[in-house]
Chains A and B, each alone.
Chain A
Amino acid sequence: MIKRRTFLKSTGLLGALPLLTPRIGWAMDGQSDNILITVFLGGGADGLNIIAPVGEGNYFDLRPTLALKAPGSGEGSSLDLDGFYAMHEAMGKLHTRFHSGELAVVQATGLTSESHSHFDSQSLMERGIASEQNILDGWLNRHLALQADQDSVFHAVGLHDSLPVSLSGDYPAISMSSIAEFGLNAPQVLELKLSETLSQLYNQNSLLDVEAGKALDAMAEMRYADPAQYEPENGAEYPDTQFGQHFRELSQLIRADLGVATASLALHGWDHHDNQTQVLPGILAELSDTLDAFALDMGADMDRITIVTMSEFGRRAWENSSAGFDHGYGSFMLAMGAGVVGGQVYGDWPGLGSNNLVFSGDLDITTDYRTVLAELLYKRFGQTDIATVFPDLIAEPELGVFTA
């Protein structure tokens, strides 16, 4: 397939495109309509107080002041999932979607690296490897590169100030911090003149030229498609936070038919070394309300959209003296939307007994996070070359979180 940018250049359409022609529709078939959204929970989210194992007594012993209250034990009780696990009460909306079968949880999952460093762990996780090696591109980028030619400059989008490492690599991905700010905001004649000038000035092959080319293409597409015109539907209300607004704008990009196939977002602020009860409910509500609003907004389109969350590690099983938790190991993942076999908590439970804990008292990992992602890529996105996407993944039986 001819590269879109090459085509636009050869026809001289690049600058003038929005005035002349609608976005050219490229052939799509079956799974190529599916959309993958990844959410990175940066800082090390405490899976044990988000998806709490209230059926295990050790949980309450290890966390005498900070354990969630068992379901049905009065005000502030956690929300029952399956009799053993319970969800934090701040996630009421996701709890509803769990029981309606749209949301699945994987517990005791994560990155199987000994590193308890945020930066090392996030970097490894985004590159899809378990130990340091000379692989610099992101797992999502490798997945995309193995698939068909790019059919839209919006095919892979990071809604972020910078491009997430998971999306970085040879496959062209763009980053966008907001729709309104993604343009010169100049009168059209000047905007076209400047776009044309910049397009010609960035005519080499460096990283800067490549990024400039994508930025100019994306600006041209947006001038035509005007995604900002789309209002949330079905009464969806997004939290007025950066994360909430990123999802709102993602819905606009999807609705404007710009060809979004993969999007990465991040919610930072999970590093709760102290006073967890003051901060965890707020950020969980932000996560829950945002995902709920997005699903509501997208309506029927959710039958082709799958969202998956991950965090670089969980937190220590026992609480510290600052009413928080130090860096741990196993954590949780959420999967929501198309193809998700919801209403279940997946993954073997390793237990919280002193013999079960690892490192300085951390929840063990029984499912490599990449096993979950591999199943998702294979079943929903036709990815058969998992060994390239996750080079050092040791094959584990799939959990059955997804259907094709």
Chain B
Amino acid sequence: MNALTTASDHFELPQDIHFLNRISYGPTSATVSEVAQLGWSATLENQLDYQSIDTSEIDTTLADAFPSLELTPAEIVAAEDEELFNKLVPDLIMSTVLRQLYSPAQLYERMVEFWSDHFNMNVLDSRVRLFKITDDRESIRPNAMGKFRDLLYANAHSPAMMLYLDNYSNTKQGPNENYARELLELHTLGVDGGYNEADIVEVARAFTGWTVSRRSLTFSFRFELHDRGPKTVLGQPLENTFWGGISDGEQVLDLLASHPSTARFICTKLARRFVSDDPPELLVDEMAETFLATDGDVKALLRVLFNSESFWTSQEMKMKRPLDFLTSTVRRFGIQADKKLFSYFHSRLKQMGQVPFLWHAPNGYPDTAQYWTNTAALVSRWSTGKDTAFFLPRATFSTILAGANTPRRIIQAMSQALIDRNLDPQEHDILQHTVFEALPPDQPVNRDPVNFARVVAIALIGSRYFQMR
């Protein structure tokens, strides 16, 4: 059922573009020249060393536009400002998408998205809403290129996750299994990772007393709510230290972070995100080995991934998710988003079903073509392409056309600009006939070429080439 790519092989996608399709939210003229100049290997190292990338421009813009992003939950509550509270989610969504569109640290933003999906929480839950901005700022972002173990620790201590998966009320007197189950199934081992229902009960007991302080609105461990009895997780008794308390949960996290099932689960997901829906076993094996040897070091994993043959032979094997579809359009055309445009994008993401942070369940937005390829999704993409092509200023197209004024040259210029290749002759003819009708291919058009370019652009954005990355 997954035979997605019977795409014509006449006209290959340049490898640089393939690389940019995966490490970024879509190539731009600037990133295309950068890779051409440095080569992909040096570009990758630059992207991995994300802290050295100058992101001051986007950082300043966001800090000015969204002061709420810097606030702590306690400050938000103290402000007693309903308007501020209602802005938290839109601010987070907008700043996230703006970073994806314009931050030069593109691979880093891709990893932020990956971990936000992995540790998904739905911010429509009003309790989560208060804490998610802090979670994003203090748990996800500082660790997105770090070690999995640190991410897992940060997430387990994050009030947002504690509220989302109810661990805040998991106590000795009344255990709540929600967090324990998803910790094993979604965050670490995977559903086939070798645990059973009894392990869930034991893990839930280990995390009793992990909660959120009502006063400081930060993590707190409450000893009196903790179940101090002996516990066995995955066949291994937890070490009962003198205090018996918080170390139970920490031991579980250590056990899980270094478990071979976790290594495979995380590496499969990474390879699915960056290579293909069903990533080759060989690649997953190699990555899992690196995972276990490095405490799940994300940079090391990405190096293995991007250096693999599997990666370099996976051109256009990934279906763009709606967010990829939109960001790659914006970056392609070099569009500067203003408020009005952003609200259009937001409505489109909503229609296509991928507004960041709004997935309804703890497993995060799906990452396979099977889910995103359907009639509703395609129609939305087509109409979004149409709106975008008509919305863009004339100058955008005249720059791309650079004087092209015959059907043949208009189609070629738009193809090169939007899908990085010429259409094969048959497809070229289709556009020639449907867009230009009886006009001979090499005869100058008798109206403004931009009018034709817009229609060609809609067809190209709607075509198979633009749905894949």
- Report which A residues bind B (CB closer than 8 A): 42-43, 114-120, 136-137, 158, 160-163, 168-169, 174-178, 181-186, 190, 193-194, 196-198, 200-202, 204-209, 211-212, 214-215, 218-219, 268-269, 271, 273-274, 320-322, 324, 326-327, 359-360
Contacts and interface: CB of A to CB of B under 8 A. Distances in A.
Contacts of B459: 194, 197-198, 201
Interface string B395-408: 00000000000000
Nearest to A185: B383
Nearest to A190: B455
B6 A204 contact: yes
B338 to A, nearest CB: 22
Nearest to A43: B361
Interface in B320-379: 351-353, 360-361, 363, 366, 369-379
Interface in B166-198: 166, 169-171, 173-178, 181, 185, 191, 197
B431 A197 contact: yes
Contacts of B173: 321
Contact of B174 (A185, A205, A207, A321): A321
Given A177-B351, A206-B3, A197 B386 contact: no
Contacts of B467: 208
B339 to A, nearest CB: 23
24 contacts: A117-B191, A162-B374, A174-B374, A177-B376, A178-B351, A181-B380, A182-B376, A194-B462, A197-B431, A204-B6, A204-B464, A205-B3, A205-B6, A209-B6, A211-B375, A211-B378, A320-B174, A320-B175, A320-B176, A321-B170, A322-B169, A327-B181, A359-B197, A360-B201
B382 interface: yes
Nearest to B390: A186
Contacts of A120: 191
Interface of B: 1-8, 165-166, 169-171, 173-178, 181, 185, 191, 197, 200-201, 319, 351-353, 360-361, 363, 366, 369-380, 382-383, 386, 427, 430-431, 434-435, 455, 458-459, 462-464, 467
Contact of B176 (A42, A117, A274): A274
Contact of B434 (A185, A193, A205, A326): A193
Contact of B382 (A194, A208, A269): A194
Given A207-B369, A326-B177, A118 B5 contact: no
Contacts of A197: 430-431, 434-435, 459, 462
A320 B168 CA distance: 13
Contacts of A181: 351, 376, 379-380, 383
A185 B181 CA distance: 45
A336 to B, nearest CB: 25
B176 A322 contact: yes
B464 A202 contact: yes
Given A183-B383, A186-B386, A196 B434 contact: yes
Q: Which of A136, A176, A215 has the most CB of B within 10 A?
A: A215
B247 to A, nearest CB: 23
B463 A201 contact: yes
Contacts of A209: 6, 464
A183 B375 CA distance: 11
B373 A200 contact: no
B3 A162 contact: no
B458 A194 contact: yes
Contacts of A201: 427, 430, 459, 462-464
A363 B208 CA distance: 25
Contact of A162 (B7, B8, B185, B353): B353
By Cβ-Cβ distance, the 4 closest A-B pairs, closest first, are: A321-B174, A161-B353, A322-B169, A215-B375
B177 A327 contact: yes
A175 B375 contact: yes
Secondary structure at the A interface, as helix, strand, loop or mixed, is loop
Nearest to B454: A190
Nearest to A177: B376
Contacts of A43: 361
Contact of B4 (A137, A207, A271): A207
A193 B435 contact: yes
A274 B427 CA distance: 56
Contacts of B181: 116-117, 327
Contacts of A160: 376
Given A118-B361, A174-B375, A321-B171, A184 B353 contact: no
B177 A207 contact: no
Contacts of A184: 379, 382-383, 386
A324 B197 contact: no
B192 to A, nearest CB: 8
A377 B438 CA distance: 53
Given A321-B171, A322-B170, 9 more contacts: A116-B181, A162-B366, A182-B376, A194-B386, A197-B459, A200-B430, A206-B7, A273-B165, A360-B201
B370 to A, nearest CB: 7
Contact of B197 (A116, A162, A198): A116
Contacts of B7: 204, 206
A302 to B, nearest CB: 27
Contacts of A115: 191
B208 to A, nearest CB: 10
A209 B118 CA distance: 30
Contacts of A174: 374-376
Nearest to A191: B386
Contacts of B178: 273, 326
Nearest to B459: A197
Contact of A274 (B166, B366, B383): B166
A75 B22 CA distance: 59
Nearest to B372: A162
A118 B4 CA distance: 28
A324 B200 CA distance: 17
Contacts of B372: 162
B377 A326 contact: no
B176 A273 contact: yes
B462 A183 contact: no
Contact of B169 (A206, A274, A360): A274
Nearest to B198: A360
A102 B379 CA distance: 37
A195 to B, nearest CB: 9
B383 A207 contact: no
B422 to A, nearest CB: 14
B445 to A, nearest CB: 16
Contacts of B191: 115, 117, 119-120
B379 A183 contact: yes
A161 B462 contact: no
B169 A218 contact: no
A175 B176 contact: no
Contacts of A208: 4, 319, 369, 373, 378, 464, 467
A176 B361 contact: no
A269 B169 CA distance: 20
Contacts of A326: 176-178
A176 B435 contact: no
A376 to B, nearest CB: 25
A354 to B, nearest CB: 17
Contacts of A176: 375-376
A148 B259 CA distance: 51
